[in-house]
Amino acid sequence: MTAPMRLHTLLADYPVTHALRTGEIGSDLIAFDFAPYEVSNHAFKPMVRELAFDAGELAIATFLQAKDWGKPLTLLPATISGRFQHHCIAYNIERGELRPQDLAGKRVGVRAYTQTTGMWVRGILQNQFGVDLSKVTWLTFEDAHVAEYENPPNVIIAPPDKKLKDMLLDGELDAAMLGSDMPDDPRLRTVVPDPEAAARAWYEKHRAVSVNHMFVVRSDLSRDRPDVVAELFRLLKESKARAGVKGEIDMRPYGFEALRPGLELAIEYCHQQGLVRRRMSVEELFDDTTIGLK
């Protein structure tokens, strides 16, 4: 019997990956060597700069930039995390009300200009609310995962001793993208009024899910061992099924057609914001092995 292929894998422990991470489900084809990262985005730089992993999760904006710069990574039609993003930008009510149309001339903080949450929120601000992104100063704390990328001129780097939440609460920022780190603080309000209603309207228009992390593999693995890649997809899908789908909309879609609307928007938003140099097709994010996985 052939020994299973050992894959150095970047995959955090979420409800949808728990059965796979804990070994509740397994495979005769694959032996997983999970990288010791509780927060996977800490490893995105070595993933795209050094090809440090055979497979794993990667933020979609980082993947699109990696693809734009010719990194040999291939997408699987498997979403690890996703959510609507309208609630992810906040302001301090003590400094007065702030709405999307008020952002021109303001300073908005975001962990990195290339962060996927930031990409989605800026795309929403521009396309749903008519914000001119070039008139906003974006203050960031990290550089891009893809080394070749350079920030646009209206992006500035925060001093090393500063923290995003503190700058927002202290009035050094007019707004900030906090994502899942939104503090439970009565001073904070969302810049988008009624973000749940705005997200529903956005979804009804686009029928798309704003995915955050997806699963990718090294392109040579997909080329040389399509059986292993198909097995990876099966395991991910089974692990997700054990967790179940929460809510009316599946925020972790699987399969090419289910993902197409969201990926088309991610590509468009990335191009509008200068994160990628050209509008890629959704098809070219995959290869002959991964595009047909269901």
Give the tens place of pLDDT for each residue, 162-199.
999 999 999 999 999 987 656 678 899 999 999 999 99
Q: How large is the angle between the packed helices 195-206 and 256-272, nearest 10 degrees? A: 110
Query: Tell me: the pLDDT tens digits for 115-124?
Result: 999 999 999 9
Number of C-beta neighbours around residue 262 at 10 A: 22
Q: Quickly tell me which residue has 């439970």 as its tokens.
A: 184
Residue 249 corresponds to which amino acid?
A: I
In this prediction, residues 82-105 reach a mean pLDDT of 96
Is pLDDT above 80 for 260?
A: yes
Residues 6+ apart with CB under 8 A from 260: 282
CA distances from 195 to 93, 99, 121 (A): 16, 12, 11
In this prediction the pTM is 0.96
Parallel, antiparallel, or unpaired: how do β-strands 55-59 and 211-218 relate?
antiparallel
What local confidence, expressed as pLDDT, does residue 150 receive?
96
CA distance 41 to 294: 27
Specify which residues 175 forms β-bridges with.
108
In this prediction, residue 123 carries a pLDDT of 98
How far is residue 152's CA from residue 202's CA, in Å, rounded to a whole number? 27
Quick one: pLDDT at residue 99? 98
Q: How far apart are CA 280 and CA 123, in angstroms?
A: 17
- How far apart, in whole angstroms, are the C-alpha atoms of residue 220 and residue 73? 8
Angle at 10 between CA 230 and CA 254, to 5 degrees: 40
Find tokens 């997983």 and name the residue. Answer: 32
Positive or negative: CA dihedral 256, 262, 264, 266: negative
Mean pLDDT, residues 84-113: 96
